[in-house]
DNA sequence: TTAACCATGTAATCCGTTACATGATTCA
DNA sequence: TGAATCATGTAACGGATTACATGGTTAA
C-alpha cells in the first residue's frame, strides 16, 4: 500500500494523464518514487474505482485522447490518513552496492567500470535536479522560496533526491579511487 | 534476481546460519541490502539446491541445532557473472518522502512529528555504522585501512550506508525547520 | 512467569517487473 | 522509411511482506 499514495501526492498540484505520470515516475523525475507505466495504469484504475481520484476525458486532434486525473476529497482524506500512519523504514537496495560488498573476491576492473557508469548516471541526475529546483524557485533564493513559496513539498523531495545522487556520486568516486590504488599495489 | 547475490556476498567472508543472516539483513546491519527472515530461509534453500552454497549441520547443546552456509566455487562464479552484468538503477522509495511531497496539503504538525521520529532512527543508525567502521579498521586510520586492509568491500558498503543515513538526517532536520518556520507565519 | 532470544520453516497475499498487444502522428 | 512520442491497457511471473506454525533456553 505505497504506490497509491505516491500517485495521490503526484496529482495534488496538477491534473495529469497516465502517460504523463508514467514519464515522471519512470525517469525518476518524480524523485520521491519510481514505478513502471503498466503499474501506474493499473493503480489509476483502482484508485478511480475506489473514488480516490476522478478522471475526465480530453479529446485531442491528431493524437489519441487522454484521461486527466485529479484527487477527490476522499483521496485527500486518504492521504491525510497515510501521513499520520507509521512509514516503514527506508533501506538501500542497490545491485551496485552488493557488487562492492563482494569487492575482495571479484575482478576489480569490472567494479571500477560499473562504478564509473553509475557516476555518469548520477551526474546527469544531479544536473536534472538542479534545473528542476531552479525552475521551481524562479528568481528567488532557496531560503526565501522555502520561507514564502506556495508549494514547498515538491521542492523538499527534490532536495532529497539531489542529496541522494550526490551521495551516490561521491561514494562511486571514492570507491573507484580506493580500488585503483589497491590495483596498483597488487 | 537480486537477493540471491546479496546473500552470496554476505557469506563470502564468514560462514553464517539463516538466523544470523536474518538478523543482519533485518536490522539493516548488512547495510547493502534488506530482507525478512522468511525470505532468507527460502533463498538459502534455493541456493543450496542449485549448488551455489553448501550448508553443514552444527549440533549445539542447550539450543536448537543450526546450519552454517558457505559459498561454493559455483556460487563465486555466479557472483563474478553478476558483477559483470548491468545493475538496475537505484531509486529512492520512501513512504516519508511521499508524505513530504504532500506537505502543502496535509497537517504540518503530523509531518514534523514523523520527520522527528525518522531523525532519531537515523542518528541511531549513524552511531551503529560509526562503531562498525571502527571495529573493521581497528587502530588504523581509514585511509591506511582502505589502502592496505585485507577486506575493503564491507567497509565501502558501510560507508555508503553511513552517508545515506547522514543524508536522511540532514534532510529531516532541514525539512522540520522549514515547516516550523512556515507554521509560525501562517 | 513472561518476555526475549535461538532456530527454522510453510502458505497466502500483495506488489513490481517483464512481456505482450495496439495504433496514430511527428520528426529525421 | 524507420524511430520516437503519444496514449492505454492485459497477462504471466517473480519477488517481498504478512500471517501462521513450532518449540526449547535464558534472563528479568
Mutation target among B9, B35, B83 for the A interface, most CBs of A within 10 A: B83
| Strand D footprint nucleotides (protein C-beta < 7 Å) | 6-11, 14-20, 23-26
Residue nearest to nucleotide D7 (CA to C1'): A64
* Shortest alpha-carbon distance between residue B92 and chain A (Å): 6
A175: chain B residues, CB-CB within 8 Å: 156
| Residue of A17, A24, B46 whose CA lies nearest to A6 | A24
B57 forms bridges with which residues in the sheet?
B67
Q: What is the pLDDT of residues B62-87, one digit of tens each?
A: 899 999 999 999 999 999 999 999 99
The helix/strand/coil state of A56 is strand
Mean pLDDT of B18-30: 86
Q: Are residues B38 and B113 in the same domain?
A: no
Its domain, for residue A113, covers 95-185
In this prediction, what percent of chain B has a pLDDT beyond 90?
92
**Helix crossing, B108-137 with A73-84: angle to 10°?**
40
> Is A23 domain-assigned?
yes
User: Which residues, including other chains, have CB under 8 Å from residue B121's CB and lie 6 or more apart?
Assistant: A89
Q: Is the pLDDT of residue A28 over 90?
A: no
Q: What's the grid cell of residue B21?
A: 543472516
Q: Tell me, rounded to whole angstroms, the distance of Cα A1 from its chain centroid.
A: 17
Q: Are residues B177 and B112 in the same domain?
A: yes
Q: Are residues A72 and A106 in the same domain?
A: no
pLDDT at B61: 87
d(CA B167, CA A31) in angstroms, rounded, equals 15
B154: chain A residues, CB-CB within 8 Å: 101
Last-in-domain residue among B40, B57, B84 = B84
The 3 state secondary structure assigned to chain B is: CCHHHHHHHHCCCCCEEHHHHHHHHHHCCCCCCCCCHHHHHHHHHHHHHCCCEEEEEECCCCCCCEEEEEECHHHHHHHHHHHHCCCCCCCCCCHHHHHHHCCCCCCHHHHHHHHHHHHHHHHHHHHHHHHHHHHHHCCCCHHHHHHHCCCCHHHHHHHHHHHHHHHHHHHHHHHHHHHHHHHHHC
CATH of the domain at A49: 1.10.10.10
Q: What is the pLDDT of residues A50-104, one digit of tens each?
A: 999 999 999 998 899 999 999 999 999 999 999 999 999 999 999 999 999 999 9
pLDDT at B35: 95
Q: Are residues A125 and A74 in the same domain?
A: no
Helices (H), A102-152: 108-137, 142-148
pLDDT at B94: 96
Q: Are residues A63 and A136 in the same domain?
A: no
Give the nucleotide with minimal C1' distance to the Cα of B62: D25
Q: Are residues A45 and A74 in the same domain?
A: yes
User: Is the Cβ pair A163, B167 closer than 8 Å?
Assistant: yes
Cβ(B105)–Cβ(A43) below 8 Å: no
pLDDT at A78: 98
The size of chain A, in residues, is 186
d(CA B58, CA B18) in angstroms, rounded, equals 12
d(CA A104, CA A56) in angstroms, rounded, equals 56
| Residue of B86, B16, B24, B88 whose CA lies nearest to B47 | B16
Number of domains, chain A: 2
A96: chain B residues, CB-CB within 8 Å: 87, 90
Residue A64 (CA) to nucleotide C23 (C1'), in angstroms, measures 9
CB-count exposure of residue B115 (10 Å: 0-12, 13-18, 19+): buried
pLDDT at B28: 67
Residue B65 (CA) to nucleotide D19 (C1'), in angstroms, measures 25
pLDDT at B93: 93
User: Is the Cβ pair B118, A6 closer than 8 Å?
Assistant: no
Amino acid at each position: 500500500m505505497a504506490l497509491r499514495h505516491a500517485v495521490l501526492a503526484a496529482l495534488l498540484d496538477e491534473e495529469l494523464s497516465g502517460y504523463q505520470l508514467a514519464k515522471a515516475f519512470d525517469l525518476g523525475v518524480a524523485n520521491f518514487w519510481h514505478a513502471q507505466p503498466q503499474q501506474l495504469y493499473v493503480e489509476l484504475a483502482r484508485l478511480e474505482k475506489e473514488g480516490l481520484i476522478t478522471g475526465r476525458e480530453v479529446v485531442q486532434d491528431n493524437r489519441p485522447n487522454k484521461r486527466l486525473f485529479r484527487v477527490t476529497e476522499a483521496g485527500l482524506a486518504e492521504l491525510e490518513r497515510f501521513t499520520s500512519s507509521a512509514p516503514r523504514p527506508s533501506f538501500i537496495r542497490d545491485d551496485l552496492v552488493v557488487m562492492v560488498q563482494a569487492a575482495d573476491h571479484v575482478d576489480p576492473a569490472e567494479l571500477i567500470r560499473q562504478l564509473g557508469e553509475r557516476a555518469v548516471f548520477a551526474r546527469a541526475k544531479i544536473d536534472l535536479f538542479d534545473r528542476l529546483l531552479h525552475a521551481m524557485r524562479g528568481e528567488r533564493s532557496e531560503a526565501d522560496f522555502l520561507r514564502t513559496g506556495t508549494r514547498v513539498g515538491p521542492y523538499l523531495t527534490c532536495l532529497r533526491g539531489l542529496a541522494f545522487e550526490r551521495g551516490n556520486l561521491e561514494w562511486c568516486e571514492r570507491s573507484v579511487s580506493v580500488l585503483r590504488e589497491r590495483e596498483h599495489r597488487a
